[in-house]
Amino acid sequence: MDFDSLVALLPESDEAAGIEGFETRAGYVLPADYRNFLARRNGGLLAGTVEARWLSSLYRGGYGVVQVERFFSMGGDEAGEVRSIGIELADMEHDPAGIPDGIFAIGADVFGNLVTIDLRAASYGQVAVVDHEVIGESFPDAESYQIVAGSFSEFVSLLRRSEDC
Alpha-carbon distance of 11 to 46, in angstroms, equals: 7
Instruction: Please report the pLDDT score of residue 14 as a whole number.
Output: 55
When mean pLDDT is compared over 53-67, 75-89, 121-135, the highest value belongs to 121-135
Answer yes or no: are the C-beta atoms of 102 and 119 closer than 8 Å: yes
Instruction: Please report the pLDDT score of residue 69 as a whole number.
Output: 93
For the cut 90, the answer to whether the pLDDT of residue 45 exceeds it is no
What average pLDDT score do residues 87-100 get?
79
When mean pLDDT is compared over 13-22, 37-46, 120-129, the highest value belongs to 120-129
Domain of 119, CATH number, reads 3.40.1580.10
Which residues, including other chains, have CB under 8 Å from residue 71's CB and lie 6 or more apart? 10, 37, 41, 43, 44, 46, 79, 106, 107, 115
Instruction: Please report the pLDDT score of residue 116 as a whole number.
Output: 96
For the cut 60, the answer to whether the pLDDT of residue 16 exceeds it is no
Number of domains in the chain: 1
pLDDT in tens, 106-132: 999 989 899 999 999 999 999 999 987
Please state, rounded to an integer, the average pLDDT across all residues of the chain: 85
Q: What pTM does this model have?
A: 0.88
Residue 72 domain boundaries: 3-164
CA–CA distances in Å: residue 100 to residues 65, 81, 103, 117, 144: 24, 19, 7, 12, 15
Alpha-carbon distance of 93 to 12, in angstroms, equals: 33
Q: Which residue has the higher pLDDT, 41 or 50?
A: 50
